[in-house]
Amino acid sequence: MDFLSYLKSFILLMKPRVMSLVIFTCAVGLLTSNVNVDLFTSIIGIFMVAIGAGAAGCLNMWYESDLDALMTRTCLRPIPTGKVNRDQALIFGLLLSFISVFSLSYFTNSLSGLLLLFTILFYLFVYTIWLKKKTPQNIVIGGASGALPPVIGWTIATNNITLEPITFFLIIFFWTPSHFWALSLYKADDYKKAKIPMLPLTDGVQKTKLNIFIYSIIMLPVVILPYVINFAGLVYLIPSLLLTFYYIYVCYDLFKFKKNKFDIKQAKKVFGYSILYLFLIFLLFIFDNLI
């Protein structure tokens, strides 16, 4: 294997698509704090949070390499294909963890570093090792780790946690279940092979669709909260409500299909729109803050 292919394999271990979302949400947390942070601190802070997220993804792939090999969605990852071995992935993940946490603490503040460390440890030990193979609520509790980057972005700028960044956390936390359960509907065979107790396998299709619909409704008060606490204005609120109403609609459309069955196109529509939905909600925070 040539050097570039080898390098690409290590980058893939870091789950770059997840890292891009982390960079974006972390930047939103930092920018909406309205604290003047110099460019170097901002860039190094966001970069180190992204590296920390990459470390968590790498350690996740190290621990789950046997499961990844069984699933069509993950069988082409670097470890199952033999491009990187487990020991290399473990060392790389630990190295990234140390560099990101130490650097974030040094260049910004210790609170941000501690939050990043907590995020990595929570994702590895609580979600990956403890919950994922034990409960269908794995993604609900485990979603806390994915909801922390915008909070860290806020602490990079302010060195404290207030109610405002908690609203970021709640948006991602309550968004996560409907997003991943929509995916689990049409990837249920994969999870069955890997013996991961996702909701469609443990509770059936109908209950999964109901839970997706319920969590989409929960998003309504959650997206209104930033406006209620005067963290965001109407520029954020009105489009957010429209986006959320449509999210509820597509989730209801999925739910009302035949009992104990689902339309795969509709499940994919919910999954795809959920990604766009979260991106636009966070983008609206930026627009509202600027205006």
Domain boundary among 157, 192, 209: 157
Rounded Cα–Cα distance for residues 228 and 231 (Å): 8
What is the residue range of 249's domain? 162-291
Q: What is the CATH number of the domain that holds 109?
A: 1.10.357.140
170 and 83 belong to one structural domain: no
What's residue 92's pLDDT?
97
129 and 221 belong to one structural domain: no
44 and 179 belong to one structural domain: no
47 and 172 belong to one structural domain: no
36 and 128 belong to one structural domain: yes
The DSSP code for 136 is T
Tell me the two tokens of residue 150: 């915008």
Q: Tell me how many degrees the CA angle 167-246-250 measures, rounded to the nearest 5.
A: 110
Q: What are phi and psi of 5, to 5 degrees?
A: -65, -40
Nearest by Cα to 257 from 217, 216, 209, 221:
209
149 and 170 belong to one structural domain: no
User: Which DSSP string do the residues of 179-230 spell out, in sequence order?
Assistant: HHHHHHHHTHHHHHHTT---HHHHTHHHHHHHHHHHHHHHHHHHHHHHHHTT
Rounded Cα–Cα distance for residues 45 and 10 (Å): 22
User: Which DSSP string do the residues of 224-265 spell out, in sequence order?
Assistant: HHHHHTTSS-HHHHHHHHHHHHHHHHHHHHHHTSSTT---HH
6 and 145 belong to one structural domain: yes
Cα radius of gyration (the chain): 19
The rounded Cα 14 to chain-centroid distance in angstroms is: 13
146 and 168 belong to one structural domain: no
- Residues of the chain falling short of pLDDT 50: none
What's residue 1's pLDDT?
64
249 and 180 belong to one structural domain: yes
61 and 76 belong to one structural domain: yes
48 and 75 belong to one structural domain: yes
Q: pTM of this prediction?
A: 0.95
178 and 119 belong to one structural domain: no
Rounded Cα–Cα distance for residues 274 and 122 (Å): 24
**Locate tokens 């994969």: which residue?**
190
**Locate tokens 């968004």: which residue?**
175
Rounded Cα–Cα distance for residues 13 and 28 (Å): 25
Overall number of domains in the chain: 2
Rounded Cα–Cα distance for residues 56 and 14 (Å): 8
Tell me the two tokens of residue 203: 């509770």
